Chain A
Amino acid sequence: MSYSAIKVIKEAFTGHRGWKPLWRRPEPKPEYDIIVIGGGGHGLATAYYLASEYKNKKIAILEKGWLGGGNIGRNTTIFRSNYLLHDNEKFYEMSLKLWEKFEQDLNYNAMISQRGVINLFHSDAQRDAYVRRGNSMLINGADAILLNEDDLRKKCPFLNYDNARFPIQGGLWQPRGGTIRHDAVAWGYARAADQLGVDIIENCEVTGFDIQNGKCNAVRTNRGTIKAKKFGVAVAGSSSAVMANAGLQLPIESHVLQAFVSEGLKPIIPGVITFGAGHFYISQSDKGGLVFGGDIDGYNSYAQRGNMTVVEDVCEGGMAVMPMIGKARLLRMWGGVMDMSMDGSPIIDRTPIKGIYFNGGWCYGGFKATPASGKCFAHLLATDESHPNAKAYLLNRFEKGQMIDEKGMGAQPNLH
């Protein structure tokens, strides 16, 4: 069912009785061509691009809980392509371009709002690093503008310029970055994939892989064994646990990242702002809530909740950089399980087991990567070749010393 102005008006006058479920609830079939494990953003996008670009394949998505219940439903909704290293920048810029046509491609309004992303800098060295990064962005066809303090005072008069421990010198601004209604991304991909014949199977947990002679033939689930030729694993924070079922250890740790939203307020924050001298970033949703976050808690966790040390650290950062938010109230806090890789960059690659393909290690950059991740993973699953924009995201890059380490933090996942 396509959404159109006429349809919306007709339904309004007929009591909305004509709207149908966004996706079917099929029983799993005994066999598919390709099974995508994980009904989050990346899994749904992968299935959508598989179905739309590599046709005539029987595809299923297996989701252990409810669709979109992982990190696609618990992030801070930001998209941007402001990376330093070309291997990342070209991938995230591809993603940003896909976001820009998401609504037309999927006939679903995810309220993509390109109100810009500003990364503040507070020292000469930080400025130099941002100039290098801004140039990387421009070299890759993205957009970037260097703001000085005067520019910022005009754009964001509410920042703390005059009483700051770490004075604001300027910012690197990506006007095309912004925010998206995150749940709508999952629903939009689910609806579009379903319409292309993908079976979305919720409450179906993978409990094992049938592997013979180094090749995977089927997955065991709580809803029975399902065969397929290829299996694409896109389960973010659960990567280590799922891949352990296939006997693989990953260069990944699972960490909790907390995020926060305030009560609804009249619009005041123009886009996304990231503090450069502490852990704090913020945007404001179309509904008015201040959506903000900071650093991961730092310890391995699957609890989907964190502790107050980080909450206080984030709010200290917020008060340091924009002390007007003191009287806004934090309404909800939650945690997502981040698949933190060993160099801070993702993996989209084959695994040593034939038939099993892996997509993970997104750290806390996974949401904005959703369309490109889906497209590149679909390309890999369909063609057995890495997509040109994801050629560096290989599983064996750590063995070879070809890390893609944006922050230069080394093999320390909680610092990326």
Chain B
Amino acid sequence: MSVDPHVLVLAGGLSYEREVSLRSGRRVADALRASGIDVTMHDADAALLPLLQADPPDAVVIALHGATGEDGSLRGVLDLCGIPYVGCDARASRLAWDKPSAKAVLRESGIPTPDWVALPHDRFSELGAVAVLDRIVSRLDLPLMVKPAQGGSGLGGTVVRSSADLPAAMVGCFAYHATALVERYVNGMDVAVSVVDQGSGPEALPAVEIVPRDGVYDYAARYTAGLTTWHVPARLDPAVAAHVAEVAVAAHRALGLRDLSRVDLIVDEDGTPHVLEVNVSPGMTETSLLPLAVQASGLEFGKLWATLTERAAARADAAGR
């Protein structure tokens, strides 16, 4: 990294999570500035590429949530421009972003993930919704979790406890994405494990246990302070906690991720962790999970980001850019 490192934080975008992204971006930018790093914030818009060309940053932080930040496409563009960024490469990002693809890789790697089926809405119109839904219920059993195959922040997701509620959940899900992921709902403790790599390999931070006040961790529960209680570290038996941490790191590795990720899991009554999804651009807001884990681990948020941006810049130097 040059003498006066310059970091570009990308936030905003056109996704449903624009507002969350702007908050994440500001928080990271403030933390980096507090660590003495020169930071610019920018939206992913038509002015971005000219800016990258005119004033290439030493590293980019992708605080964009939703497709732009997570489907790998923007990372591909940054690769084209030869600009290093924090986080995994385009290919791994694309894999993690598509939940059914990611689940398939996790299962192949022996990492437990709830049984699922992923179906585009066209399949329902072709085959008849009633018949397909009946099949899903008899195969996976109630309760079910219905969520968009791509997307975050709990948008479009519903826990279905009665088959009568399934059609509504499907319609709600398809409003967000053309393919729905229906998975067996696992009862247990909701936890999120952040994985960071500061240079000595990926390490799990303390698990964050999520207890939404109204029982549902939906958009409002995620982003309204006071609606959810987080326990850090999660109230798990130490042996179980250690196993959860191993599984999270294994998921991070299985998907070929880099620098940081957040692994969302359910720990069932037997203490078995089931990985639900893995986020390559986790939220960084005041009520987000990764910052809570960073705080509990004793790391300093700004220093961690400084390390991650330095590592990204060093990768570019090593590649001779």
The answer on A and B forming one complex is no
Which residues of B pack against A, CB within 8 Å? none
